[in-house]
Each structure stands twice: as C-alpha cells, then as structure tokens.
Structure 1
Amino acid sequence: MIHTETATVDEIIGQAISVAKQTDEPQLVSAVDHIEPIDPFLFYAGAEVLKDTRLFWKSADGDFVMAGVGTAATLTPSIDERFKDIQHQWKELMDRTHWFDSFEQKGTGPVAMGGFSFDPAKETTGLWSSFETSQLVIPNYLLTKVKGECYFTINCLVYPDDHMEQLKFQWEDTKNKLLKQRNYGFIAPEILQQEEIKTEKWKQLVKQATEDIEAGLMEKVVLAREMRLKFDENVNVSQVLQHLDDTQTNSYIFSFESGDAHFVGATPERLVKVENQQLLSTCLAGTIPRGKTKEEDVRLGQELLQDEKNLEEHDFVVQMIRGAIESCGENVEIPEAPVLYPLKNLQHLFTPVTARLKDGHTLLDIVERLHPTPAIGGLPRQVAMEYIKKHEPLDRGWYAGPVGWLDSNQNGEFAVAIRSALIKNDQASLFSGCGVVKDSDPDMEYQETAIKFTPMLGVLGGA
C-alpha cells in the first residue's frame, strides 16, 4: 500500500495510473475526506438514486456507522479455505492500493464489508441464489460516522487507460448526488401472506435430536426454521433499517445487498471485534422474554440467571470462545459468571471475553476459529454441523454466518447474523433457531423460535 499525507489527490491518481500502465494491473485509489454531519440512514436511502449495490453497518455500541454504495472490488474465496483466501485477496489488493488520508479513522479508506454463509458445504437452493457463499465488497463510496464525525471515502480501481480529470469529475458528481439533502416519507407495505415453513417436520426433528443426544451422538445441536412473508408491494429496505434502529437497542444493524436481494438484520451477538490490536468477543447464549412490568422483567431475568439448561448452554459457548481466543490472543480475561443483556423483546445471558491479538494473527483468524459457536451450531462442532446439514429442512445461506467488516489498519468487527431476514422485492424469508439438548421440549423450543422472529417480523408489519 502506498500511503501518504503530503501528496495531493492529483499526484495519487497520477501515480496509480502510472503503476497500472507499468504492471498492466488495475490499482485501487482510496481518498478520504472529512465532511459535514449527515444522517447515515438518510444517506443510505438517498443512495438508491444510483441504482447500485448498497451496504450498511451500525455497531451495537451505537457510535460507529458505515453506509456504502457501489463496488470497487469484490473478494470471493474458494469454499475450502475461505477465510484464508479472503485474507490473501485482501492483502494482494492492499499491495495495489494508493491511499490519500490525513485522518486515519477506523472504517475509512479501503474497507471490505460482507459476510460468510453458515456452512458453504451444504447444498444451496434458489433462496440464496443472489449471494455467493462468501463475499466481501469494497464500496466505491463510503460514509463513515465515528465519534460523531463524518468521513467520506472514494474507492476506485484505476486502469492504464483512465484519465485523471475524467475520474475526478465522475467522483465529484457522484459525491454531490449522494450528499444532497433529501426528505423521505415511508409507507410500510401490508403483509398479504404469512407462512411458517414445515413447522411439524421441524418439531419432529427437535424430538429426534433429543433422542440422538440422549443416545450419546452429540451434546447439543441448534436447529433453525423459516417464516415467509408476501407483501402488497416491494419492501423499502431503508425503512426497515430505520425501524430496526428505532426498536432494537444494543444490536448490530446491517444490510448487505447482492443482485435483487437484501440480507437485513438486527443481531445482538458479536462474534469478535479488533481495534488497535485489542480483541473483544462475547458470549450471548440463553434466552428469555422481557417482562410486561418492571417486576415481571426482574423475575424473568432472575429465572434466566438460575436456569440450568440456559446456564449449561451459555457455558458451552464460553469455553469454546476461550479456546479460540487463547490460540490467537494473549492476556485473556473472562468474568466468572454471566450477566443479563436486555433487548426490546428478549433478554440473554452475556459474558465478555477480552484479550490482545498476538502479532502475526488477523481478525479473520479469530472469525475462522470462532465460527460456528455452540450458540448457533452445537457440540461437538463437526458432529452438530453434519447433523444440521443432513436433517435441517432449511437453506440457511448467510443466516447465522459471520457478517461484518475490516479495514486496512487491522480494525474490524464481525457479528453472528441472527434476528435477520432475506428480502427480495415483495417477499421476505425470516429465520430463527434454538439450542436443542437432551431435555428439550419441541413445543417449548417452537415457542422460543417464535419469540426470536419478533424483532424482524415487527418492523415488517407483522405481529
């Protein structure tokens, strides 16, 4: 990467064109500017005028948001070594990047946004045909809001026959369109059909899984199911994101567009975050509803903190995270007991895990070791994955897979894509899962998954 604070943008572009001519390889130019504050949700909505791919990410901490438009480059790895392949492709791209940035804020400059499917080895269906099994996109235009300040990044591949003035004119014209202030009024579409897919078959599978666990095949398996919605008109994804932000506190708000589909969600479950070599992972496993009154809420929370099944499930995940983090991190710290993590509709058991990332390791090394956690796969990991692949009547696609971002300074964050939906025009598929152990009851597990549909179903107009 060629990174300079003293050169002008013209010099950076000229240098990139020159290197492209010498090597006959396109070069990535990345230029960052500090801009006046703008609402990322309105930016995302306004970006629809470009009729190009849009990406969105808001941290659960609430102080970091990115909205991307267009595709400067795409990283699509092989199935067998997808995390290593992505890392290799990212490094190669960074070696061909000419970067103009005097701010050096996280999530600015070259940023790759996207995700990985839950299990690339499972046979796919037409449901996820618009998405690769793994795909990270470097957006052409990126708005980043961090610590209350806004930055605008232009990422563009420069070819040997490109002309500087033409590129600059195109960038400035698009930037003006994207930053133009607009007013939006959204009308939620009406649900015409609401169908839960293969409900009885799913309950039978839960029963079969408990018997297989009792027989010693595995300790736990997470089984997911699908709900399909049909609307009277196309769903406005900008509206969905805004509603998720309004209603789902302490959650990652995300949307990844590919082809005619958007994968959208509000997940509370961080997989891993790395910033300035400091590593944070969290265990979020064990679920109970929120109470209708303060007293009921407290009672339910205490019930969760003392529930043997949920505590056992939570500890499964904590121990797995410990092993993964210790292989790539040092100075690992884990509290002795979980605390409550409240959301609008649900509350979970929560345990943070902190460490320092060891030299020579990357964010994607941690993602590879952590995915899938027992909270969305099971134990033992490989046995549970094979069980899901063989028996679960659902094409999970990116549901329960790692989604997130990384930048050129080793910063980044990935979350587990639960509480999510795949939206295609006037249709949506919602996904929900639960952990099955030896004493699980199919009807109770069904009710738990019904509760977990609530965040997405509510913002899409359902009840």
Structure 2
Amino acid sequence: MIDQNAVSLDKLLNSIMDQGLSHNRQLVSYTKQIQPFNPLSVLELGKEEDRFFWKRNDNCLYLVGIGNLIELVFDRVNYQKIHEEWNALVDKAIVHNPYPVPGTGLLSFGGIAFDDRREPSTLWKNFSASQFRVPKFLFIKYNDAYYLTINFIVHAHINSDLLVQNIQQKEQQLLQDLSGLPPLGTILKEEEMDIAKWLQSIENAKQTIQNHLAEKIVLARELRLKLSSTGEMSTVVKRLIETQPKSYVFAFEQGDECFLGATPERLIRLEDDQLESMCLAGTAPRGETDMADEQVRHELLNDKKNREEHDFVVQMIRRAIERYCVDIRIPDTPTVFPLKNLQHLYTPVTAQLKRDYHIFDLVEQLHPTPALGGTPKEIALAFIRKHEPLDRGWYGAPIGWVDHRNNGEFAVAIRSGLIQSNAASLFAGCGIVKDSEVEAEYEETKIKFLPMLHVLGGK
C-alpha cells in the first residue's frame, strides 16, 4: 500500500527554502513510496547516464541507481577516510526518509580495489582505488514494496518550481513501459591471457607453501573476449539474474565501461547493528544427474584439501570480527551451497556490532579473506603482487553500498567481468595449497568462468 500521508517533494523544497540554507550548496535526499516497477526496465531507460545495479542473493532487495550526483573518489584505499567523508556528507545533507527500510534514503554505492599497492594497469584506468557514488535517482524494491529516492543540490537562487518539474519529467521517463531489452550478440574470440606465466605462478606458490612460508595463496587469471556487439548492461544483468538466482548480481558503470557479475559470496551485511557474513571456500562442479551431484557433494564435504581451505576462511573471519562484535555465532561444520555450475563449502556467521564501530571497520578487517588472498594475508598478498600476471582491479574486492542509517552490504566481486564496449575481461581464481595439482586448479578456473561466459553469448 502506498503511503498517502507522505510529504510531497514541492512542499519539502518550499519548506527548505523558507527556512534558509545552512550551506551554499545543500544536498537534499527525498524518498517516497511508489507503484511497482521493473528494475531492469529502469536500468535500460537510464542508459544516458552512469548506472549501478544490485540484487541481493535472497532476491529481497534490488537497487537501481541512475546518474552521478556526488562521488567520493580516493586514489588509495583508506577505510577510515571513506567512512569519515561519507559521514560528513550525511551530516550536512537534508534527508527526508520516513521509511525504516534498508537501502532507502541517502545511499552511496561503489567498490574498492583488491590491492592498491599493486601497480595499476591500463585495464582498470577508469576505476579508482575506491569510489562511491550517490545517484540522482535510486529505485528500491524491498520485498513487495517499491520506493524512489531522489537526490539533488539546491542553492539560494534556485528556481524550485523548475527543479521539481525537471525531476518529475525524469521520473516519468524512467518509469515508462518498456517492451524489451536490447539483444546480445555472441563471443567471437577467447584468449587466455599470460597463461604460461599463470601456470608457473602455481608451481612457485606450491614451492613457497612447501617451504612453510605460507599455507595458502590464491591466484587469479584473465580470459579476454571479443564480442560480436556491445555488451549491453541491462541485458547481461537480466541473464545473470535468470541463471544465478542464488547469487548477488551487481553492476557499476563508468562511462562506456561496466564492471559486473554474479557472486555467491557475501562479505558483510549490517542492518540495525546485526552482522551477517559467510565463509565460502572449497569448490566442486555440479553432477550431471541427481545421484552424481550427491556423490560430488559427499566428496566435497570429506575432501581434505577443500576442508582445509574452508577452515582457513572460518578461522580468519572469527579473528577479524572478535574485536568489533559480540554474540558471535559460527557453526562447527560446513554445509554445501549449490549454484548452477558449482557447489561450495559454506558456513554462515552472525554477530552483533559493538558501539562506536562501523561497516568500513569490518570491511577492512575481512578483505581479503583467505578465499581470495590466502594465509597469512600479508605474505600471500606480497606473493600475488610479485607473481600473478594480472592487475585484479575491483575483481575479488568489496563491492556494495551503505545508507544514511549505517545499514549496508558488501559482496566479494568474483564470477565477474569488465565489459569495454565490444570486448570483455573475465576473471577467475583458485586457492593453492601444498597438495594442489596444476591441472586441477586450471580446470577449476575454467568452471568459474562459465557463469559470465554463458550470459555473454558463449556455449
């Protein structure tokens, strides 16, 4: 049911102007409940401006951001500075949001580089070490309710009637009926980048581990694609939703480039100081029949290498959040989390955040987990910087959002790709331990490429 008692935008704006502005340029965020909309249609209709998209893994929350009103951009990753600048932005803003719904109201969405100490490559030249965007229009679907947050800047001499008229016209444009999404082409060419160097890096990692300098090192590689036509963001997102219903689906557009994917891995969710994280490490393919699938599941649960890899993540997450949380709950044994192409060992984590801490404290402690970096963390990262023939950019790193009430959620940006017009780079990694076999790790990355390959037109 739509809230009929909500304050209209023009009345709010008139009230603000009558009271006078506390800043020369005042950020205003206005949220209202609206009629149901199709998130994919809004995404497509907003293509004249930079966009972002988010679907939670339980399908309860969709976010569609249109336009770039304000960006917090940092050349280095400094979690405390990100938090401070976001708080300063919120403190100075006028926020009208009567709905206690996570993701509504003033919100920023963005990502963080996997390792800002790695020399950046031209592949990621349009993406900063950390970058968070406040959209002009944010469309929210939360369970069966629909909301719109409108963010804008006012100043003392603004024509408020014209501003409201322009906002309403844009809103109507974004909520038009859309008959369909653009077609998507096919993959013309696949090229495994620096494959010989990557295979050698596995041997080097095994030697490092056998020399007791590390326990696990995660190594990623790139698959470069040539597409028959431009990879349309809305169409790729639609296919990801259809083929990976249990995953987070994310997309962040930067000019004519878009980083997007469908990841099964939550880094952290924070709602009303209640924390949820997950341990997702240890991988096997799906079986071709129910009986074969059950056999693979049984083998995964009892596989020494995968259980060891999973336990690294469990213990690391426990250590990472102990200082910041109370009432930490982690089951003793994992279960299996099935996806379309893969299945993973899975252990959920819940806790309550202590006072005076915030979501970026936890993101800093949790990234990268041993599932994406290795253990010990600093030794594994140093090895990756030296030996991995890839600048990961935002791959394998936190991507997500935070709102003005300090709710937020970040996922780990795996099963992902960077689309650049009619080309794309896909990324996949595997965890190397002392018993790893080079051919098996190579085959594991081939399986991990499949979700993105399929939605981009591959067989």
TM-score (norm 2): 0.96
Task: Say whether the 8 Å CA contact 2:274–2:351 is kept in structure 1.
Answer: yes
Q: How much has 1:186 moved relative to structure 2?
A: 3.4
**Distance of 2:251 and 2:367 partners within structure 1:** 20
**Distance of 1:236 and 1:200 partners within structure 2:** 32
Instruction: State the match for 2:254 in structure 1.
Output: 258
Instruction: State the match for 2:51 in structure 1.
Output: 54
Q: Secondary structure at the match of 2:148?
A: strand
Q: How much has 1:237 moved relative to structure 2?
A: 1.2
1:361 to 346, 357, 362: 357
Task: Say whether the 8 Å CA contact 2:41–2:181 is kept in structure 1.
Answer: no
1:441 to 437, 453, 457: 437
Instruction: State the match for 1:23 in structure 2.
Output: 23
Instruction: State the match for 1:43 in structure 2.
Output: 42
1:391 maps to a residue whose letter is: H
2:122 to 112, 120, 126: 126
Q: Secondary structure at the match of 2:277?
A: strand
Instruction: State the match for 1:91 in structure 2.
Output: 87
Q: How much has 1:276 moved relative to structure 2?
A: 1.5
| Residue 191 in structure 1 maps to residue 187 in structure 2 | yes
Percent of paired sites with the same residue: 44
1:75 to 72, 76, 86: 72
Q: How much has 1:266 moved relative to structure 2?
A: 0.1
Task: Say whether the 8 Å CA contact 2:74–2:128 is kept in structure 1.
Answer: no
**Distance of 2:55 and 2:279 partners within structure 1:** 19
- How large is the RMSD of aligned CA atoms in angstroms? 1.5
**C-alpha spacing 1:233/1:14, structure 2 compared with 1 (3 Å):** same
1:52 maps to a residue whose letter is: E
**Distance of 2:286 and 2:7 partners within structure 1:** 55
Instruction: State the match for 2:62 in structure 1.
Output: 65
**C-alpha spacing 1:18/1:445, structure 2 compared with 1 (3 Å):** farther
Task: Say whether the 8 Å CA contact 2:9–2:164 is kept in structure 1.
Answer: no
Instruction: State the match for 2:212 in structure 1.
Output: 216
Q: Indicate the larger mover: 171-180 or 14-23.
A: 14-23
**C-alpha spacing 1:123/1:421, structure 2 compared with 1 (3 Å):** same
Q: How much has 1:259 moved relative to structure 2?
A: 2.0
Q: Indicate the larger mover: 86-95 or 294-303.
A: 86-95
**Distance of 1:268 and 1:118 partners within structure 2:** 17
Task: Say whether the 8 Å CA contact 1:207–1:441 is kept in structure 2.
Answer: no
**Distance of 1:17 and 1:426 partners within structure 2:** 47
| Residue 320 in structure 1 maps to residue 316 in structure 2 | yes
Instruction: State the match for 1:273 in structure 2.
Output: 269
| Residue 13 in structure 1 maps to residue 10 in structure 2 | no
- For 1:82-122, what per-residue CA distance to the aligned partner results, in whole angstroms no more than 9, with x for missing partners? 21111111111111111222223211111111110100111
Task: Say whether the 8 Å CA contact 1:20–1:158 is kept in structure 2.
Answer: no
| Residue 392 in structure 1 maps to residue 388 in structure 2 | yes
Instruction: State the match for 2:105 in structure 1.
Output: 109
Task: Say whether the 8 Å CA contact 1:285–1:349 is kept in structure 2.
Answer: yes
Q: How much has 1:185 moved relative to structure 2?
A: 4.4
**Distance of 1:185 and 1:409 partners within structure 2:** 34
Instruction: State the match for 2:335 in structure 1.
Output: 339
**Distance of 1:213 and 1:298 partners within structure 2:** 32
**C-alpha spacing 1:233/1:6, structure 2 compared with 1 (3 Å):** closer
Q: How much has 1:158 moved relative to structure 2?
A: 2.0
Task: Say whether the 8 Å CA contact 2:395–2:413 is kept in structure 1.
Answer: yes
**C-alpha spacing 1:17/1:130, structure 2 compared with 1 (3 Å):** farther
- For 1:29-73, what per-residue CA distance to the aligned partner results, in whole angstroms no more than 9, with x for missing partners? 11111111111112111212xx10110000001111010100121
Q: How many residues align?
A: 455
Instruction: State the match for 1:32 in structure 2.
Output: 31
- For 1:202-247, what per-residue CA distance to the aligned partner results, in whole angstroms no more than 9, with x for missing partners? 1111011101111122111100000011112111111111111101
**C-alpha spacing 1:286/1:22, structure 2 compared with 1 (3 Å):** closer
Instruction: State the match for 2:227 in structure 1.
Output: 231
1:405 maps to a residue whose letter is: W
**Distance of 2:135 and 2:110 partners within structure 1:** 10
TM-score (norm 1): 0.95
Kindly report structure 1 stretches of 4+ aligned residues shifted beyond 4 Å.
5-8, 14-22
**C-alpha spacing 1:19/1:434, structure 2 compared with 1 (3 Å):** farther
Query: Unaligned regions of 5+ residues in structure 2, if any?
Result: none
1:172 maps to a residue whose letter is: Q
Task: Say whether the 8 Å CA contact 1:267–1:419 is kept in structure 2.
Answer: yes
**Distance of 1:199 and 1:178 partners within structure 2:** 44
Query: Unaligned regions of 5+ residues in structure 1, if any?
Result: none
2:165 to 159, 166, 169: 169
**C-alpha spacing 1:185/1:137, structure 2 compared with 1 (3 Å):** closer
Q: Indicate the larger mover: 337-346 or 14-23.
A: 14-23
Q: Secondary structure at the match of 1:23?
A: coil
Q: Secondary structure at the match of 1:431?
A: strand
